[in-house]
Chain A
């Protein structure tokens, strides 16, 4: 069980968090206009990376805030933690997050 540093509350056990799938998934803003294939890709074609992957997490049993984690899915190493709306590149290498 990982220890995750919530950008709002600090270090807590993984049990307080919920995993929310990959981060930076762009919802098509004009959904009606995209093709079936594009829509299907948005819904189903997720990368499922073995290695470094940006993910969404929610401190659901704490402050209730969503944020992003750049995590190695193989070693579970957390490379960076950053708030919603912050770009993944800006946060890369910022080991403490927040």
Chain B
């Protein structure tokens, strides 16, 4: 915790502001304690405390200070909070101060003021344009990455899980208005009065936009009073919803909008913990009104990145809204009239305006005249060319400039100042318009990209539409009339970089993108290397990428690229803006889908019984299934061995309910299913079952299972547990799209029916103990056949099949009866030493038997021939999905990877996924002949066994192969893929 200090900084002006000096607040920055007041932003409080260096630049670790008062901030990126509440990537300008707030600078170590990385001169030649592609090629990126990560992180991710809740919210509205500045407010009033459902979204904590700091008067009262009047009118309308501290981050198809709303970031983390920290909105709007305002551009000159160099509007913003003088001696550089407002406003609160350098040779606008009348010196036809001050601005120099002929005078004049306020004109915030698919047009009068060609139901208004003067904004948007003093404004003079005729300037560092440390020379270098397409240029130099999205850098960079390539800005064009407009926290995007809700598991019908009987659960294809059962500290290996031996010697019972079960019914069902299996379906007799492989049209095996003819016109199809929904959808797709004339109905009954599998030599004896009216003998109920019957008043089906190699019965019944039957079978089965077994024992037994597990022993290139089904698949007379592909040259290759058994030399089982080296190699690196797909310690065989895919495997039986994994080399003998009971003597019990 930080202690309270109560003194008021000398930089706090004696004027009314939106900061409450009655309510002091303590906070810390880089470990040092400071004080601020209720209503401060972190940035305003740091400025008031005289903190000039708030971060280090991304590549060169140059000291940087706060340069703006809003979301366009490119320097003051901070990390807020302590474990577990850390939030990286926050802008100090948008962080609301609260008591006990802990903030840290990023990109600096140990802190921003004293950064040990800064003197590393070696960094400089590395970080030219395209440095990612040039420097880190040799020996590899992995060599450099630890160094670069340490040098160039933007904060650190929290190590502990986030304790807060996040929410998502789906919503609809008639009208979405983005931004509650003058334009947004009057638009909300207009549509609200018409009774439309209006959602007004503002990223700030207060409504008003620029009116929160501009010294305007509307109808004879201060603009802020007018804002308050409009806000209370809006709040009285039931059809208008106002959401503050919320950013519209993305604009997608059909007016689909995402909003990131921050409910608790402005509060200490322990306050209001019952509420979500953030809420992520999914909104559909009938119409979107983009009133996102404009962002001021910095000017480009030598060393224009020193702490103390700020946007001109930010300087008056801090004075008016926060009552803070950002400095005591302010110099202003501009190419337009708007910056004169800063001179006038700051002069009014007693700050020394050292001078104004205006590019334009003879500015005569009303604001210029007003500034001159206050005695402020205007250096017309002059540009700021360079600055001094290693830890913060100390002085600037200006020279006469001939913009028309692009010539800079060699003579310089030096001025001492602690703040340089710059304005290079204003860029409408067109990000959302561009995201919506709308095009942009470069307006030569405004020297800005403005919206044109709306693709969706939306419109841009106010300064987002290039209407910059308040009187014009209100006249354009509202049917009401307002009394506003409108100054005569002269046009902006296009000016993007200093002329290069003075050598010292030509060689200087002139920053274009402060966030990514890109200079005018980098832009020129990219142009020389022919990265002239704007999309290539952006990625090569990293200009305008990542969290900033080019808010202040974009237009300057495009203009300089244009100059270097002899094109106008309009010809250079701009990249399409991409979401998010501002960073969105991962927590908000995940919302409630975390932990157990990230991908909820399905429980089995006998879940409670399993839990009560020592089951250790695991996620198998979205089902929460027992891996094995253990009691009194028995190890996994011992438990699996016990379960396997119970099945092999007595009888085991398995909750097999997740098995995919799909009913296919109708006169055409056999012909239809014949299209899906590489095995024959139509010739299957009633009540008989057959194992089949399902292929995709490429001939690759996508699933396997047993299909059973339960009636002349009905089949039951089983699939892998994870594949049921996918395969049912696959059948539907072909039925609807390719064979709509076929009369079949497909229904997926997987979750409606439970399945209990009895496996082991005593399985039949156990069933005999029950009064089941069917003949269970091997002769009359053979392997791969099914019986439908009644058992204890319930209709059930029994399928004789086996995935273990033992005598097996699968009992199918409606899910709700499964638990009762399970308990009955266990009670009676105790006399036969029945044991429940889990998936691990099943996997061991099917590997012992050489039965494949789809997706484990096969991959997306496996064809039937690779796993021993060459003959049925090629010989089947009728067409089926994937058949033709089995005759392509690739499928007929004789050296394909095929399924083999692997008998390990030694006692240690192979690692699944380890690599089989090509013949003749005995150590890695080596070409690869295949890989191990399944591997277990076989309790039945008494040695480790494995399955694998091996090139040309069928002709390599008996060969010793070398297998590599991270633990070293092992050897194994290639054998047939069946270890246990190859003659199938156990199958009838």
A56 to B736, CA, bound (A): 11
When C-beta atoms are compared, the residue in chain B nearest to A76 turns out to be: B253
When C-beta atoms are compared, the residue in chain B nearest to A18 turns out to be: B729
Residues from chain B with Cβ under 8 Å of A66 in the complex: 732-733, 736-737
Contact of A31 among B252, B253, B729, B884 (CB under 8 A): B884
Q: Is the CB of B254 within 8 A of A3?
A: yes
B587 at the interface (CB under 8 A from A): no
Q: Is the CB of B253 within 8 A of A14?
A: yes
Interface size on A, residues (CB 8 A): 26
Q: Is the CB of A84 within 8 A of B736?
A: yes
Q: Is the CB of B256 within 8 A of A1?
A: yes
B740 at the interface (CB under 8 A from A): yes
When C-beta atoms are compared, the residue in chain A nearest to B877 turns out to be: A32
Q: Is the CB of A36 within 8 A of B254?
A: no
User: Which of A46-54, A57-65, A88-96 lies at the interface?
Assistant: A57-65
| Minimum distance in angstroms from B238 CB to a CB of chain A | 26
Contact of A39 among B729, B740, B884 (CB under 8 A): B884
B883 at the interface (CB under 8 A from A): yes
A60 to B740, CA, bound (A): 18
Contact with A along B687-703 (1 / 0, CB 8 A): 00000000001100000
Residues from chain A with Cβ under 8 Å of B437 in the complex: 75-76
Residues from chain B with Cβ under 8 Å of A28 in the complex: 884
Known: A13-B284, A32-B879. A56 touches B254 (CB 8 A): no
B957 at the interface (CB under 8 A from A): no
Residues from chain A with Cβ under 8 Å of B879 in the complex: 30-32
| Minimum distance in angstroms from A24 CB to a CB of chain B | 10
Q: Is the CB of A56 within 8 A of B737?
A: yes
A2 at the interface (CB under 8 A from B): yes
Known: A1-B254, A1-B256, A75-B437. A34 touches B736 (CB 8 A): no
| Minimum distance in angstroms from A82 CB to a CB of chain B | 13
Contact of A2 among B254, B698, B729, B885 (CB under 8 A): B254
Q: Is the CB of A84 within 8 A of B884?
A: no
Q: Is the CB of B738 within 8 A of A27?
A: yes
A85 at the interface (CB under 8 A from B): yes
When C-beta atoms are compared, the residue in chain A nearest to B880 turns out to be: A31
Known: A1-B252, A14-B253. A84 touches B885 (CB 8 A): no
Q: Is the CB of B885 within 8 A of A43?
A: yes
| Minimum distance in angstroms from B237 CB to a CB of chain A | 27
Q: Is the CB of B736 within 8 A of A65?
A: yes
A58 to B887, CA, bound (A): 31
Known: A31-B884, A32-B883, A64-B732. A43 touches B698 (CB 8 A): yes
| Minimum distance in angstroms from A51 CB to a CB of chain B | 15
B774 at the interface (CB under 8 A from A): no
When C-beta atoms are compared, the residue in chain B nearest to A68 turns out to be: B737
- A10-50 CB contacts (< 8 Å) to partner B: 13-14, 20, 27-28, 30-32, 34, 36, 39-40, 43
| Minimum distance in angstroms from B708 CB to a CB of chain A | 24
When C-beta atoms are compared, the residue in chain B nearest to A85 turns out to be: B740
B10 at the interface (CB under 8 A from A): no
B567 at the interface (CB under 8 A from A): no
Residues from chain A with Cβ under 8 Å of B256 in the complex: 1-3, 13
Interface size on B, residues (CB 8 A): 23
A33 to B42, CA, bound (A): 74
- B735-749 CB contacts (< 8 Å) to partner A: 736-738, 740
Residues from chain B with Cβ under 8 Å of A43 in the complex: 697-698, 885
Residues from chain B with Cβ under 8 Å of A31 in the complex: 879, 883-884
- A63-88 CB contacts (< 8 Å) to partner B: 64-66, 75-76, 84-85
Contact of B737 among A3, A30, A34, A84 (CB under 8 A): A84
| Minimum distance in angstroms from A58 CB to a CB of chain B | 7
Contact with A along B133-162 (1 / 0, CB 8 A): 000000000000000000000000000000
A90 to B620, CA, bound (A): 47
- B41-80 CB contacts (< 8 Å) to partner A: none
Q: Is the CB of B884 within 8 A of A32?
A: yes
A92 to B884, CA, bound (A): 34
B906 at the interface (CB under 8 A from A): no
Residues from chain B with Cβ under 8 Å of A40 in the complex: 888
Q: Is the CB of A36 within 8 A of B883?
A: no
Q: Is the CB of A58 within 8 A of B254?
A: no
Residues from chain B with Cβ under 8 Å of A27 in the complex: 738
| Minimum distance in angstroms from A97 CB to a CB of chain B | 15
Known: A13-B284, A34-B884. A75 touches B455 (CB 8 A): yes
Contact with A along B441-464 (1 / 0, CB 8 A): 000000000000001000000000
Contact with A along B80-117 (1 / 0, CB 8 A): 00000000000000000000000000000000000000
When C-beta atoms are compared, the residue in chain A nearest to B729 turns out to be: A60
A64 to B728, CA, bound (A): 11
| Minimum distance in angstroms from B286 CB to a CB of chain A | 11
A30 to B879, CA, bound (A): 8
Residues from chain A with Cβ under 8 Å of B375 in the complex: none
- B467-506 CB contacts (< 8 Å) to partner A: none
Q: Tell me which of B252, B253, B879, B885 has the highest count of chain A C-beta atoms within 10 A of its own C-beta.
A: B253
A48 to B737, CA, bound (A): 20
A34 to B697, CA, bound (A): 14
Q: Is the CB of A39 within 8 A of B888?
A: yes
Residues from chain A with Cβ under 8 Å of B736 in the complex: 65-66, 84
B889 at the interface (CB under 8 A from A): yes
A32 to B874, CA, bound (A): 11
A66 to B731, CA, bound (A): 12
Residues from chain A with Cβ under 8 Å of B697 in the complex: 43
Q: Tell me which of B256, B698, B736, B887 has the highest count of chain A C-beta atoms within 10 A of its own C-beta.
A: B736
| Minimum distance in angstroms from A2 CB to a CB of chain B | 4
Q: Is the CB of A36 within 8 A of B740?
A: no
| Minimum distance in angstroms from A7 CB to a CB of chain B | 12
Q: Is the CB of B889 within 8 A of A36?
A: yes
Residues from chain B with Cβ under 8 Å of A36 in the complex: 887-889
A28 to B883, CA, bound (A): 12
Residues from chain B with Cβ under 8 Å of A60 in the complex: 729
| Minimum distance in angstroms from B168 CB to a CB of chain A | 12
When C-beta atoms are compared, the residue in chain A nearest to B256 turns out to be: A1
| Minimum distance in angstroms from A16 CB to a CB of chain B | 13
Residues from chain B with Cβ under 8 Å of A39 in the complex: 884-885, 888
Residues from chain A with Cβ under 8 Å of B698 in the complex: 43
Residues from chain A with Cβ under 8 Å of B740 in the complex: 84-85
When C-beta atoms are compared, the residue in chain A nearest to B735 turns out to be: A66
| Minimum distance in angstroms from B663 CB to a CB of chain A | 16
Residues from chain A with Cβ under 8 Å of B732 in the complex: 64, 66
| Minimum distance in angstroms from B604 CB to a CB of chain A | 25
When C-beta atoms are compared, the residue in chain B nearest to A67 turns out to be: B736
| Minimum distance in angstroms from B732 CB to a CB of chain A | 6
A76 to B252, CA, bound (A): 10
A30 to B256, CA, bound (A): 45
Known: A31-B879, A32-B883. A58 touches B733 (CB 8 A): yes
Residues from chain B with Cβ under 8 Å of A58 in the complex: 729, 733
14 contacts between A and B (CB under 8 A): A1-B252, A1-B253, A1-B256, A3-B253, A20-B733, A20-B737, A34-B884, A36-B889, A43-B698, A56-B737, A58-B733, A64-B732, A66-B733, A75-B437
Additional A-B contact list (16), CB under 8 Å, known A20-B733, A27-B738, A34-B884: A1-B253, A1-B254, A2-B254, A20-B737, A30-B879, A31-B884, A36-B888, A40-B888, A43-B697, A43-B885, A58-B729, A60-B729, A65-B736, A76-B253, A76-B437, A84-B737
Give 7 closest A-B pairs by Cβ, nearest first: A31-B884, A1-B256, A3-B254, A2-B253, A66-B736, A76-B253, A1-B252
Residues on A facing B (Cβ under 8 Å):
1-3, 13-14, 20, 27-28, 30-32, 34, 36, 39-40, 43, 56, 58, 60, 64-66, 75-76, 84-85
